[in-house]
Amino acid sequence: MKIRKLNLAFAYGAGVAIAPGLIAHAQTSSTVAIAATPPMGWSSWNHFGEKVTAADVKAAADALVESGMRDAGYIYVNVDDGWQGTRDASGRIQPNSRFGDMKALSDYIHSKGLKLGIYSSPGAQTCTGFEGSLGHELQDAQTYGEWGVDYLKYDLCTLGGIIGTYGPKSKEIPYRDTLAQMQHAYELMHRALASVSRPIVYSFCQYGFGNSWRWAASDGANLWRTTGDIRDNYQRMINIGFSQNGLEKYAGPGHWNDPDMLEVGNGGMSHDEYLSHMSLWALLAAPLLAGNDLRTMSDDTRKILMNREVIEIDQDAAGIQAHRAWSEGTTEIWVKQLADGSSAVGLFNQADWMASVDVDFRRLGFPGKVYVRNVWTKDDLGSFAHEFSTLVPRHGVVLLEVRMASK
């Protein structure tokens, strides 16, 4: 094994203030309350794709309860693309034969103490060609309300082609109007959802087009995708996660950056890579939407998804998203300030070999002695004047909780 010795010097301290005025005007205390911390749950897409069935969704709900995930905070059961059928004579959307009765599914999920999420598009079709909501926004929102839906992911899909989001494709619609049209489409559904009597978490999925973090919250979003799709692959996952630096000022209670759903347990990454994935998403205050088959998950997967301290970092009440505090070569250090004054610190090693990482806590904004805990191994490592050194596995992470020692 090759060991690389690194001496780290940090570029700047941990203080990240949320810029005043970024809290969206469209948010009311009730829309903030439904996503006061990043939403947690499960989504059908990453494992089941568009062939998902109601039976798969019910089984996921059962597994959320039996595994203890529900009690750890994973409460949304999100049906992604693939549930839709056609519209009836009145234009009302019908589920397809794999789903049958959405109200019955919703009742089942609610009976388990869980919440139901659904998926649609502002376009005429979704990304895999199912019926979208274009021209039926109000009707669909009301139907979701009647079914008992608690969460809507609204995915740009075919509307992107019409308004030219993927480039100035449409001659009829000049490219400069694209952003306004995209905002209009999302706002339309926001107004439709606001007319429904139950609170519905509103998730924008348009891959960060038009720098959505700048405007999505003011158009009603509780969360908005910031990137293209994740894959169950270390390089893609880590690139997406690390690309979030700089977006921290847009996140906070009620409105979150969404670097996409979790791939933990889907089989394409090593144990250390999944630890990096979960640690980075927790540091980023990202929505934690498991995307694996919960019926067959291994103990390792369960332990990653259900580590209480890692979930607490993600769900911290202050809602401060981590920033990159330092990077050199293949090593990155990310810091998330927590409500109790401590910080979560992630030491990430992207190299294909184990690395030794030396940290100077003074450079992270800790002027005196600190207590350090290794979150994954649950080891209290003791107090350090300021220097700290640890090995970080290939593609792995050491996730620390760091707090000032009292005098």
Among 150, 155, 219, 248, binds ligand GLA (CB under 6 A): 155
Least Å distance, CB 60 to ligand GLA, is 16
Give the residue with the Cβ less far from ligand GLA, 77 or 127. 127
- Residue 221, interface with ligand GLA (CB under 6 A)? no
Least Å distance, CB 193 to ligand GLA, is 18
Q: Is 384 helix (H, G, I), strand (E, B) or coil?
A: strand
> How many other β-carbons are positioned within 10 Å of the β-carbon of residue 312?
17
The dihedral sign for the CA sequence 145, 148, 151, 153: negative
Residue among 81, 140, 150, 155 flagged as catalytic: 155
Least Å distance, CB 369 to ligand GLA, is 45
Residues 6+ apart with CB under 8 A from 289: 39, 40, 41, 42, 43, 76, 78, 261, 262
141: which strand partners? none
Among 27, 31, 126, 331, binds ligand GLA (CB under 6 A): 126
Distance CA 163, CA 329 (A): 40
Among 81, 150, 232, 258, binds ligand GLA (CB under 6 A): 81
Give the residue with the Cβ less far from ligand GLA, 215 or 224. 224
SS (H, E, C) 64-88: HHHHCHHHHCCCEEECCCCCEEEEC
Active site residue 314: no
DSSP H helices, 245-305, are 271-283, 299-305
Tokens at 111, concatenated: 């009976």
Distance CA 37, CA 72 (A): 13
Binding part of the chain for ligand GLA, among 2-10, 106-114, 126-134, 307-315 by CB under 6 A, reads 126-134
Among 62, 146, 229, 312, binds ligand GLA (CB under 6 A): 229
Among 8, 152, 201, 205, binds ligand GLA (CB under 6 A): 205
- Residue 56, interface with ligand GLA (CB under 6 A)? no
Active site residue 229: yes
Residues near ligand GLA, by CB under 6 A: 45, 80-81, 126-128, 155, 205, 229
Catalytic site positions: 155, 229
